[in-house]
Chains A and B, each alone.
Chain A
């Protein structure tokens, strides 16, 4: 009989399995995401706040209000949501292929590579403060490739990759700190501001690359998630079911790095989202399968909420990365304390 927790939809010879709980959860998160978007758009300086902003979002109010919402606030929310979705998905893939809840794309140097990329473009240009949109992703992918190449492949336990990634991380961190210490303080501050995760002044130019990337990579991630479901059984059983472990791990990692790199290009390294979103998604959707879609949606929701909160208190904005860490830490503790955290 079919897995009792899923619904089978058939059309001719094609069929799709819909896990009941995960589908309900995913739909709920979509609703929450829409609400959060409305809330996020409603927060801000000036007159277009609260209900006025929501009405503007729905097409009412003055052209000025609509412009404020559609040209300034909404792009930022969309960019944040896209980055969050990418990070949530990347984290889900990485955690599953590493069989370790602490595994994030950062472990292969994604965040640090992105920082180097951004540093190079910021320092190389006279006026930039955010860095070219492609600098982050390029640096991220470059770092990941370097780590995997130096480690000599992924191996079955991924242990070597983790150590090499850590060594690379520390080295890059040291260099970054050194460079920042040598710069004039305002340049250093703005780069540092980027490195802690920031959605300030992000608009459609930032959002498009990520959304395009998501449009390409999410369909690529879906077959990976089916194989990863099987990989959870251990390498031998998986191979016996026709899934070659090494190949699919590398594939999943490549997709994860691509996603994480794009996300970092938008908002800087928001590491906690990649770790927290999949864990939260598993809690909500059940541990029976890899929660790919739920993790992406959860990631988007987390980022939008964190960004909204950061702007809601006082005139000075709290960067979204700071909030993500401040909230993510206790969240992780809650997971630790309340759960069956099997080793």
Chain B
């Protein structure tokens, strides 16, 4: 399903944090929202996920306005993995993943065959099936994040939103999780939108990049087209070179060290 954001304005108190943002995300693609701290990217995602009420604008999934529908029904179309999610203590992986089926369940439909199948599939797809009986709080960071992804998968929604899914992970686990995310988008034709801290990772794994600064969209398009030194300078105030990765040619951002530090020996 197609995710469409039109003219979104949102803020806290009197301060506007997201201004006139438009966004389109198509099924089968990964859209990454990047930008400096405080640019409004998390707020934008939260508005889309119905966690924050926008001041103006519309968010539609497959043409239906998410703010006009009951939360339970929206949860069947839209899933969100928040930043640093918390799980209740002592919950097992299987228990965690099972909770993802909640939007499809009811008081007398507590575990249907579809629920069983979806949970099983999710565990297999994320590669955590052997961990099913273990406690989530005893797993490593990478394993935990994969379990959360399994829960999102089990929720079986056409649109998947992720808020900084790899911030706390080391390089190996980052790659693992981002590859998984891309696989989910492609193989299951999902619309994936993620807020990512790491510009390089975004460039590598996303099909579309949306760069934000001060609440507005500064640039959008394919990473190769959009990622320029000029954009990096505008977003982060840092001089950088954009190189081409060997292999697939995706853009690699390399920041230049601070000019003063290297020229100190040349001063006067």
Contacts and interface: CB of A to CB of B under 8 A. Distances in A.
A13 B78 CA distance: 25
A242 B120 contact: no
Nearest to B78: A240
A13 B74 contact: no
B90 A288 contact: yes
A242 B265 CA distance: 60
Contacts of B79: 240
B116 A1 contact: yes
Interface of A: 1-6, 8, 10, 13-17, 222-223, 226, 229-230, 232-234, 236-237, 239-244, 286-289, 342
A241 B155 contact: yes
Interface residues of B, number: 45
A15 B109 contact: yes
Contacts of B91: 287-288
B72 interface: yes
A14 B86 CA distance: 30
B90 A234 contact: no
A16 B120 contact: no
A236 B108 contact: no
27 contacts: A1-B123, A1-B132, A2-B98, A3-B95, A10-B113, A14-B109, A17-B110, A17-B111, A222-B107, A232-B88, A233-B87, A233-B88, A234-B86, A236-B51, A236-B80, A236-B82, A237-B80, A237-B86, A240-B49, A240-B75, A241-B99, A241-B100, A241-B155, A242-B71, A242-B103, A286-B90, A288-B88
Nearest to A231: B88
B144 interface: no
A327 to B, nearest CB: 27
A18 B193 CA distance: 36
Given A4-B132, A15-B108, A237-B82, A243 B90 contact: no
Contacts of A8: 110-111, 116
Contacts of A342: 89
B108 to A, nearest CB: 5
Contacts of A287: 88-91
Contacts of B230: none
B111 A2 contact: yes
A243 B88 contact: no
B99 A230 contact: yes
Given A4-B92, A233-B88, A242-B76, 14 more contacts: A1-B120, A3-B94, A5-B92, A8-B116, A10-B113, A14-B108, A15-B112, A16-B110, A239-B49, A240-B81, A242-B70, A242-B72, A287-B91, A288-B92
